Amino acid sequence: MDQFTLPDNQLLGEEQTEAEELPVISQRIQDIIEVLNNFKELGDHERGRSAYVEQLIKDMAVYYGYSEFLLEKLFNLFSVSEALEFFEANEVPRPVTIRTNTLRTRRRDLAQALINRGVNLEPIGKWTKVGLTIFDSTVPIGATPEYLAGHYILQSASSFLPVMALAPQENEKILDMASAPGGKTTYIAALMKNTGIIFANDSNKERTKGLVSNIHRLGIKNTVVCNYDGREFPTVLGGFDRVLLDAPCSGTGVISKDQSVKINKTEKDFILLPHLQKELLLSAIDSVDAKSSKGGYIVYSTCSVTVEENEAVVNYALKKRPNVKLVPTGLDFGKEGFTNYRGKIFHPSLKLTRRFYPHVHNMDGFFVSKFKKFSNKYELKRKNDDNDHKDLINKYELKRKNDDDDHKVSKTKIDK
């Protein structure tokens, strides 16, 4: 490449960057990445690497339409080149996928029936025996006779993963703590062959309507739908063999579906959301019976890729509940979770958690962890939990009390 010169300091301003043509910004992004990948030979050592990174973040925020705050948070998860791949992948929709309802049909028979209706499809991959990827179709996939008869459900490939990690067994008692719209609940029921009992809970009563609809359409007979704040468990009900918590999150793994995430997430979200997630995870752990003959497992997952909502939450639970440990998820692909990140050191067992990225696995960004509870004896009064995190929230509120209040965050109802 020709020698690239970083713009002068006056060009680092946001107004100047926004005024430039996108092709100019795109070319500068490519040039800066090339310099950063070989900084020793190509970089301006007087300006330093940080000046290039600062300009790159500003340019990427404008080019891809993110707030600088969120773009920098996501950028820091990857190497420079991989960060570009991640942001590019978020601009492309993920493939449409469906899950075969094995209570009603087999994948082979379903595939043939849909092919006969003009659907172009193929299996998602070797890791699932029930998923199909839909490339194109001459009929609406959500209105075929097979769909209406409950032979399949439209479900993202990434949401298969927490259920596979949970590995429910027949005749167990299971809690899906945040279950709407029901893709994971109905997958659990299928794996249990309609035996045992599932409590499908969701804190949002309106969302339970779609949950009930899917349960009926797919022929699920072992499920009780309930509407509680997940933090009320196990007071409401406990003694479960397994609990799945696919927690409310920022949605940074599903930006390709919801572009509004790019600009509507603030620093406050990444304080309040992890606080809620920590409370829910402690409730999930407390709801499981360690004496379960086959179970005693908790799966915590999110459709977010941020460390604050994933490894930091899991690490917190390990500290607060020494009666649990992380175990392998049983998923034979995905990247290992972080054991250290930007100066934060996590428990070494965090390497057993799994991360999934759109640019690597061609599915929504996702995080999956699996706990084994080995004792019921440990008890901790709930009122004493999270004091350290509440202190952080109080300090934040004090710092921001005069800030603009236009952006409101719900602490308990965050739709993915």
Q: Is 210 annotated as a binding residue?
A: no
- Summarize the chain as % helix, strand, coil (round to 5): 40, 15, 45
Question: What pLDDT does residue 416 have?
Answer: 39
Q: Is 131 annotated as a binding residue?
A: no
What is the C-alpha to C-alpha distance for residues 107 and 102, in angstroms, rounded to an integer? 8
What is the C-alpha to C-alpha distance for residues 323 and 243, in angstroms, rounded to an integer? 15
Is residue 346 within 8 Å of residue 326, measured between CB atoms? no
Question: What pLDDT does residue 402 have?
Answer: 44
230 backbone dihedrals φ, ψ, rounded to 5°: -55, -25
What is the C-alpha to C-alpha distance for residues 64 and 264, in angstroms, rounded to an integer? 14
Q: Is 182 annotated as a binding residue?
A: yes
Q: Is 202 annotated as a binding residue?
A: yes
What are the beta bridge partners of residue 119?
Answer: 137
Q: Is 196 annotated as a binding residue?
A: no
Q: What is the pLDDT of residues 186-238, one digit of tens each?
A: 999 999 999 999 999 999 999 999 999 999 999 999 999 999 999 999 999 99
Q: Is 184 annotated as a binding residue?
A: yes
Question: What pLDDT does residue 135 have?
Answer: 95
Q: What is the pLDDT of residues 60-77, one digit of tens each?
A: 999 999 999 999 999 999
Q: In what order do the strands lie in the sheet with 131-137?
A: 119-123, 131-137, 96-100, 152-154
Q: Could you please report the per-residue DSSP string of 179-217? A: -TT-HHHHHHHHHTTT-SEEEEE-S-GGGHHHHHHHHHH
Q: What angle do CA 254, 259, 264 make, to 5 degrees?
A: 100
What are the structural domains, with CATH classification, of the chain? 22-91 (no CATH), 96-155 (3.30.70.1170), 160-373 (3.40.50.150)
- The residues carrying an active-site annotation are 303
Q: Is 123 annotated as a binding residue?
A: no
Question: What pLDDT does residue 15 have?
Answer: 52
Cis amide bond preceding 93, omega within 30: no
Q: Is 348 annotated as a binding residue?
A: no
Q: Which residues of the chain have pLDDT under 50?
A: 1, 10-13, 381-386, 395-396, 398-416
